[in-house]
Structure 1
Amino acid sequence: MNEERITEKLNILADAAKYDVSCSSSGSKRKNDNKGLGNASNGICHSYTEDGRCVSLLKILLTNHCIFDCAYCVSRKSNDIKRAAFTVQEVVDLTINFYRRNYIEGLFLSSGIFKDADYTMERLVLIAKKLRTEHKFNGYIHLKSIPGASDELMNEAGLYADRLSVNLEMPTEAGLKLLAPDKSHQEMIKPMGYLKKAIIQRTEEKKIFKKAPMFAPAGQSTQVIIGATPENDNQILHSANYFYKNFNLRRVYYSGYVPVLADSRLPALNTSVPMVRENRLYQADWLMRNYGFHVNEIVNDGQPHLDLDIDPKLGWAIRNMHEFPIDINKADLRMILRVPGIGVQSAHKIVSARRFGKLNWDQIKQLGVSLNRAKYFIICNSSEFERRDLTGNNIKQFILATSHSKYLKNTQTQLNLF
């Protein structure tokens, strides 16, 4: 009977956790040097490591009981759903049992808030502590920090978790006031500030004392829901940029609003956020973090929305045709990174390879460049691709046509397999 009840809880609380997307473990390097269980590696939680390995984790809520009544949340207190709560030991046992069966490589643990923030956070921390100290578990642990919890609990959480995150939930303070009037924007920001200072301090200590304990080695992240409130992409990305710069976040996750509850403050139940919008925000975020783009180059008051038809890097290039074409054998790394079809690794390979001789089209392709995009924006040491007097709109249409043709070809290939 107890096993049946645990299974029922697992079904309820794993389903409730699916709306939280901020669960990548990239950045943690917790080594198994105490003859314990597990070994955290880059990319845990339904993600892929750099070598292409798919890894996963147990992703659950401690409870879906909650004292808050946020309009967008399926676990809000006024929603008529089946409620459940794990005990601390139940989560510990599930994690260890699932790990031993090779189902998971880590734990992502969030929770509704029952009683108060400290009461909930204390239990989240105790689960991580038991896994680390009693079971010598070295797998990845991501804890969702509870806004309003004490600094002491936040500090203890950082000692046992690889990553901590505080969900901002809405991109702006105005959006949060509209849909979650019981919550405080400042109360959400406060633990982010504490974690930033603590991570910096412990990193400096680690440089001096090699045996100093790790503190949230995979850093902190957050999640914002898009589409539940009317913020445009300009507001969303500027908000993300603010938190990257001021709180040293590793990641901002963008979760498209899922219409599961009827509420006059929310979009209609049949109004879903297009998956492509979520994808474009992630692409824009990647440009900000890895390609040297300033947020104002991607979106601004005059360009408040990302183009859903093309990726934001191609969008920037088309709006700035006066910057192109660039000579791939002479341009600096900054401009090479801005060429559509050239990724970070390929850009560095180009800069390294051209020291030994001028590169031609075949060599550039071998370095991983997507020539069907890049050819409109670069020249190199061989006969140039036919370059007509193309406008940005011409290039956009050519690329869209090529992408559509490839999609149809791949679809036909898949159909031919049956």
Structure 2
Amino acid sequence: MDYSIADRQMSIMDKLGILTDAAKYDVACTSSGNERKGDGTGMGNTIKAGICHSFSGDGRCISLLKILFTNECIYDCKYCVNRCSNDVPRASFTPDEVCRLTIEFYRRNYIEGLFLSSGILYSPDYTMELLYQTLYKLRREYNFQGYIHVKAIPGANQELVRMTGFLADRMSINLELPTAEGLKKLAPNKHRKNILTPMRLIQNGIAVNKNEVAVYRHAPVFVPAGQSTQMIIGATPENDYQIMSVAQNLYDKFSLKRVFYSAFVQVNEDKDLPALPGGPPLLREHRLYQADWLLRFYGFRADELLDEKRPNFNVLLDPKEDWALRHLEFFPVEVNRADYQVLLRVPGIGVKSAQRIVKARRNGNLCFEDLKRIGVVLKRALYFITCSGHMMYKTKIEEDYITRNLLAVKEKLPAEAGGMTYRQLSLFDDVRFAPQRQEIRQAAGMAY
């Protein structure tokens, strides 16, 4: 089959260099949520804790073999480095090449799974069929039983998406931009309906398949690790309230596992793209991830964190601290009596520490020293809690006073844009060992 209009004589290593670099801006490559084990007849497995991740300095996941099948694309999205109007080196793998790379790198412990996305080669159906063929070969012919995350192609035949779902652990469809208006402006070839249709298909397929597996023990499993999506942040003028409302809607209506927020990186010059004199909006991305955590694990709703009058997050305080300061009428909380959901709303108390508090206080009242051992961050929590009716220190339940003290507690924030690099780490990056090209080929057991 003619897979690409690119140079067919290009070596697989050259393709790997181009197509790993082309995939570096896609951040939605988490692998948690699946505990399927290998059956002993093939290679690899995936457990509930997911793949052991490594992360680059800007938070991008590097532990999977993260590649595009092709960076050829018929679309001309203004924010994308792989858009058809860009003069960039183009390459495409064949299904067998992706399988060989995955197996050889897995055998040598370079990777623990595969994250496979793609540009649109010729048409959505054509591209989706190639992705399906790749996963089918990897599972059935190469007996790979490790983790696979694949991107579904919006607009592709639904049966192809469905069949691919029985071969993947996780699937995702990029929402691209938070609103349909932004999509129309920056990605005129893409349509919200084409994105949401396969998202709904995957959601319904997961629900139906759970019932089938419950009845028929050996029924094939459909997308066992669920689905996720990604939004580019800062390319269009939506505020944080709009973005979090979209995320809340996706969690509620499509049962997504994760929504990823990718700070806009200006790789193209275009009049419709914003100027970023300060670099990518990494602090904003950081705040959105913190708020997303509150939606998924802490019982918050988007409209509790922000509203139309206050549409953006506080750059100085994390969203949970900011919410607490605006709702001081709920504090202080007595840790020996408050229920679990109330404890989750206290700054400095996380999911695990709240669970430990509920469990430990069955044996008697807790003191501040107990809370410290449990894992509560007292330098944040002390303004919002009491133990047996007493606060840790004499303090004021006053917004300005607490704000000044919280600002004195340094928060770990993303690196400044000036010190960042957007080069995705390769499989062979190691400060102790920098093999030459021929050594890499030999290590992979391939002849080029």
Question: TM-score under structure 2 normalisation?
Answer: 0.86
The structure 2 residue matched to 1:40, chosen from 21, 37, 46, is: 46
Q: Is the 8 A contact 1:44 1:55 kept in 2?
A: no
Q: Shift of the alpha carbon at 1:47?
A: 4.8
Shift of 1:188: 0.6
Asked if structure 2 preserves the Cα contact closer than 8 Å seen for 1:228 and 1:267, the reply is: yes
1:364 aligns with 2:364: no
**Tell me, what secondary structure is at the counterpart of 2:166?**
helix
Aligned to 1:321: 328
Correspondence 1:10 to 2:16: yes
Partner of residue 257 from structure 1, selected from 242, 260, 264: 264
Residues 180 and 284 of structure 1: CA distance in aligned 2, closer, same or farther (over 3 Å): same
Aligned residue in 2 for 1:19: 25
- Kindly indicate whether the alpha-carbon contact (under 8 Å) linking 2:170 and 2:227 is maintained by their aligned counterparts in 1: yes
- String of CA shifts for 1:150-203, please: whole Å, max 9, x gaps: 111011111100000000100011110010111111111000111111100001
Query: Which residue does the alignment assign to 1:28?
Result: 34
Shift of 1:382: 7.6
Return the letter of the residue paired with 2:406: I
1:107 alignment partner in structure 2 = 114
Of 56-65 and 265-274, the range deviating more from structure 2:
265-274
Of the candidates 21, 45, 67, which is equivalent to residue 60 of structure 1? 67
Aligned partner of 2:395 in structure 1 is 388
Compared with structure 1, are the counterparts of its residues 172 and 55 closer, same or farther at alpha carbon in structure 2 (3 Å cutoff)?
A: closer
1:286 aligns with 2:293: yes
- The aligned counterpart of 1:218 is 225
- Give the RMSD, CA atoms, in angstroms: 1.9
Which structure 2 segments of 5+ residues have no match? 1-7, 56-60, 413-448
**1 CA distance for matches of 2:31 and 2:197?**
23
Give the letter for the 1:124 counterpart.
Answer: L
TM-superposed deviation, 1:383: 5.1
Q: Does the aligned pair in 1 maintain the 2:38–2:45 contact within 8 Å?
A: yes
Rounded to whole Å, the distance in 1 between the matches of 2:139 and 2:411 is 50
Identity %: 52
| Pairing partner for 1:345 from 338, 352, 374 | 352
The equivalent residue for 1:90 is 97
Instruction: Report the counterpart of residue 422 of structure 2 in structure 1.
Output: none
Aligned to 2:137: 130
Matched-pair contact (CA < 8 Å) for 2:396–2:402: no
- Give CA deviations for 1:343-394 in whole Å, capped at 9, x if unaligned: 1011011111111101101011111100000000000038532233342222
Does structure 1 conserve the Cα–Cα contact (< 8 Å) formed by 2:167 and 2:222?
Answer: yes
Deviation at 1:219, TM superposition (A): 0.6
Alpha-carbon distance change, 389 to 269 in structure 1, aligned in 2, over 3 angstroms = closer
Residue identity opposite 2:39 in structure 1: D
68-77 vs 32-41, which deviates more?
32-41
2:124 match: 117
Q: Which residue of 2 aligns with 1:175?
A: 182
Greater RCO (CA < 8 Å, at least 6 residues apart) = 2
Equivalent position SS for 2:303: helix
Tell me how far 1:241 sits from its aligned partner.
0.7
Asked if structure 2 preserves the Cα contact closer than 8 Å seen for 1:262 and 1:268, the reply is no
2:306 equivalent among 296, 299, 307: 299
Q: 1:339 and 1:227 mapped to 2: Cα distance?
A: 30
Q: Secondary structure, in 3 states, of the residue corresponding to 1:18?
A: coil
Cα contact 1:376–1:387 (8 A) shared by 2: no
After TM superposition, give the deviation of residue 136 of structure 1 in Å: 1.3
How many angstroms apart in 2 are the aligned matches of 1:87 and 1:117? 17
Say which SS state the counterpart of residue 11 (structure 2) adopts.
helix
- Pairs within 5 Å for 1:398-409: 398-403=405-410
Equivalent residue for 1:199, pick from 195, 200, 206? 206
CA deviation after TM superposition for structure 1 residue 121, in Å: 0.5
CA contact (8 A) 2:174 2:231 kept: yes
User: In the aligned structure 2, how far is the partner of 1:219 from the partner of 1:404?
Assistant: 32
Aligned to 2:425: none
For 2:173, the aligned partner's letter is V
Instruction: Mark the CA change 1:43 to 1:307 in structure 2 (over 3 Å): closer, same or farther.
Output: farther
Q: Distance in 1 between matches of 2:191 and 2:145?
A: 35
> Once the 2 structures are TM-superposed, how far is the Cα of residue 254 of structure 1 from its aligned partner?
0.3
Q: Please give the alpha-carbon distance, in whole angstroms, between the structure 1 residues aligned to 2:53 and 2:366.
A: 38
In structure 2, relative to structure 1, the CA distance for the partners of 1:269 and 1:371 (3 Å cut) is closer
Distance in 1 (CA, whole Å) between partners of 2:352 and 2:345 is 13
AA partner of residue 31 (structure 1): K
Q: Which residue of 1 aligns with 2:147?
A: 140
TM superposition shift of 1:43: 3.3
Shift >3 Å, 4+ stretches: 45-48
Equivalent residues of 1:55, 1:105 under 8 A apart: no
* Distance in 2, Cα, partners of 1:192 & 1:252: 13
Residue of structure 2 equivalent to 1:416: none
State the shift of 1:232 in Å: 0.5
Amino acid at match of 1:315: D
Cα distance in 1 for residues equivalent to 2:302 and 2:226: 22
Distance 1:63 1:302 in 2: 44
In structure 1, runs of 5+ residues without a counterpart are 49-53, 406-418
Q: 1:45 to 1:348 in 2, by over 3 A?
A: closer
Q: Is the 8 A contact 2:240 2:311 kept in 1?
A: yes
